[in-house]
Amino acid sequence: MFKHLLVPTDGSALSEAAIQMTVTLAAENGAKVTGLHVIPEFHLLAYGTEMIADNEEQIIQAARQRADDYLGVIKRAAAQAGVECNTVALNRAHPYEAIISVAAKQDCDLIVMASHGRSGMRAFLLGSETQKVLTHSQIPVLVVRQSTPTDSKTAPP
């Protein structure tokens, strides 16, 4: 059914649930996986340019290390399941654009991503990368949501 799945990660526990689902789907379908972490573009407000020069390289290096750590989770999960996996880390101001672009360039036929379930003002202020991908992607998207205690309850007969 699916041959190539893209799974973006932000390092959260919910992203790890999406990773596990992706690897399981890939193993069941004989598909490969591409893991993606989008590193935010460097922006820093400072009083002087010397402050930026002193901190920019440290901040960029820390962001790259986090990307390696997050993508390492995907690599390990895929290896354990015997699934072919490659990873991509790139800088982009808008993660949803990077997700859609990488999925198209890698010829992925499914994007599996987490939704943090923000609603109301938090969703408006923080935005939803998942919602933006759903809105703009031509590639199917499987959304992994955080389960709540009521999700596991069954309705009475």
| CATH code, domain carrying 79 | 3.40.50.620
Q: Is residue 120 part of a domain?
A: yes
Based on the structure, what is the number of domains in the chain?
1
Query: Which structural domain range is residue 132 located in?
Result: 4-152
Kindly state whether residue 27 falls inside one of the protein's structural domains.
Answer: yes
Asked if residue 155 has pLDDT above 50, the reply is no
Q: What pLDDT band is residue 55 in, cutting at 50, 70 and 90?
A: confident
The model's pLDDT over 7-16, given as tens digits with 9 standing for 90+, comes to: 999 999 999 9
Confidence bin at 52 (pLDDT 50/70/90): low
- 37 inside domain: yes
Dist. CA 54–CA 98, nearest whole Å: 28
Average pLDDT, the chain: 85
**Predicted confidence band of residue 47 (pLDDT cuts 50, 70, 90):** low
Cross-strand partners of 35: 7, 87
Instruction: Give pTM, 2 decimals.
Output: 0.83
Tens-place pLDDT, residues 65-89: 999 999 999 999 999 999 999 999 9
SS3 144: strand
| Nearest Cα residue to 109 out of 30, 41, 12, 54 | 30
Domain assignment of residue 157, yes or no: no
